């Protein structure tokens, strides 16, 4: 088994743990915590899709990851602006 493949599987395990911790951060009773957790969840899913696409050799995983990365950032900034104007 190649070392690159092993390292990619190790990264996938680390990202799944990061995904679980992001879900825990989302569950805190604060809007800002929800923002932080959602942003980190988006990043985790994006990296998982890119790594899985590399491991499995599927090209459209990267397209989905690209859309998720852009829309996640735009959504987080948009919601942060709404929260900022709440006062």
**Is the Cβ–Cβ distance between 33 and 76 less than 8 Å?**
no
Using rule CB under 8 A, residue 46 touches another protein: yes
Of 25, 62, 18, 9, nearest to 43 by C-alpha is 18
| Least distance from another protein to the Cβ atom of residue 36, Å | 5
Exposed, middle or buried: residue 55 (CB in 10 Å: 0-12, 13-18, 19+)?
middle
Binding interface with another protein (CB under 8 A) = 2-4, 6-8, 10-11, 13-15, 17-18, 20-22, 24-25, 28, 30-33, 35-36, 39-40, 43, 46-47, 50-51, 54, 62, 65-66, 69-70, 73, 76-77, 79-81, 83-84, 86-87
């Amino acid at each position: 088994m190649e070392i690159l493949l092993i390292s990619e599987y190790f990264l996938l395990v680390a990202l799944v743990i990061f995904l679980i911790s992001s879900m825990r951060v989302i569950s805190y009773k604060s809007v800002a915590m929800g923002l932080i957790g959602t942003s980190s969840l988006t990043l985790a899913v994006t990296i998982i899709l890119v790594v899985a696409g590399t491991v499995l050799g599927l090209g459209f995983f990267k397209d989905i990851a690209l859309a998720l990365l852009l829309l996640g950032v735009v959504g987080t900034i948009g919601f942060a602006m709404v929260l900022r104007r709440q006062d």
